[in-house]
Structure 1
């Protein structure tokens, strides 16, 4: 016989501990971004749920934008990576690893070297970095994607990821795949196609 009230109490405490650690990691990301001089919210002075423009001053400044699906896909990928690396670990432990990776990326993404790389190699010509709000929400959306992948069938997670990539690729001529490609190995043909939007 396994389980019982004692096991449930231990599981609840462990879940709270991991949730607290995840929240602490997100808070650390926010503090570091502030220390880097990132603006808290859009310079426009207000917060929108969703910024529909791609090459606009509001992109990467509000709660969500057309790059939000990429961060959800990060969550799918990080769940897969954490499951491969930490097979016996709890979902909370795996989520903490995912938040460390996403937080590190968000901090790097808002460093001068990556901001300049985006400006020169991708379609984000006027990119100035994320607001702290947008960066924090990118991590939250990653966590939501991670938690979805932890509960959903693998096939459904893959179908949603492919749909997100195809839809944003068609709509804004950018997606996670193109973003990574253009950061790592910029292609003129892709840049020209994206600029024709």
Structure 2
């Protein structure tokens, strides 16, 4: 399978720029309000979660890329890879914008383990999209079973490490289960 063309990379950069501009217009902080920038922040219940370049939820964004790649090859198999990647960036960017709206921020605070969540910094939202792109491009080079296996490893690892993962995050956002919320809180 061919890689991403120059046109594809230009489209990806334009989409990332547009999405960044929208987050700025929404008033999102460019970096962590704490004033620091770090490569990794591993404390979920802290004011720096979803503020730095990477965190435990970066694994979920890589899985988004796996999913978007698989869906694109199923739904638009004859389209160039860069078209599928552009669509994936559009979907991920739309999610990041929605995720930083008051309706989703309030929902996360209400029903998930993200107590005190105030949304993402722009740095974190753009990094999340880059992690999705990494997952998309990795999936384009791996066999489907290796991609699926790696997604399962990521899900089990983050479940073990922080009592959360993509599956639980979606479940708790859409249809919260009180017993899961209590377990995630350490109960």
| Fold shared per TM-score above 0.5 | yes
Query: Shorter-chain TM-score: what band?
Result: over 0.9
- Unaligned ranges ≥5, structure 2: none
Matched, 1:141 2:128: no
In the alignment, what sits opposite 2:117? 127
Runs of 4+ residues deviating >4 angstroms: none
Correspondence for 2:175 among 176, 180, 185: 185
1:77 aligns with 2:77: no
Structure 1 or 2, whichever has the larger Rg, is 1
Give distance in 2, aligned partners of 1:194 and 1:181. Answer: 13
| C-alpha distance after superposition, 1:60-104 (max 9, x if no partner) | 000000000000000000001111121101111110010000000
Q: Distance in 2 between matches of 1:154 and 1:85?
A: 16
Return 5+ residue gaps in structure 1 as ranges.
1-10
Indicate yes or no: 2:81 matched with 1:91.
Answer: yes
Q: Distance in 1 between matches of 2:117 and 2:78?
A: 41
Aligned partners of 2:164 and 2:72: how far apart in 1?
Answer: 26
Q: Which TM-score applies when normalising by structure 1?
A: 0.92
Classify the secondary structure of the residue corresponding to 1:50.
coil
TM-score, normalised to structure 2's length?
Answer: 0.97
Partner Cα distance (2:162, 2:18) in 1: 32
Displacement after TM superposition at 1:110 (Å): 0.2
Q: How many residues align?
A: 186
- Supply the RMSD in Å over aligned alpha carbons: 1.3
* Whole-angstrom distance in 2 between the partners of 1:27 and 1:85: 27
Q: 2:153 aligns with which of 147, 163, 170?
A: 163
Deviations 1:117-154 (CA, angstroms, capped at 9, x unpaired): 00001000110000000000000000000000001111
How many Å separate the matches in 2 of 1:23 and 1:84?
25
Provide the C-alpha distance between the structure 2 equivalents of 1:115 and 1:148, rounded to a whole number of angstroms: 30
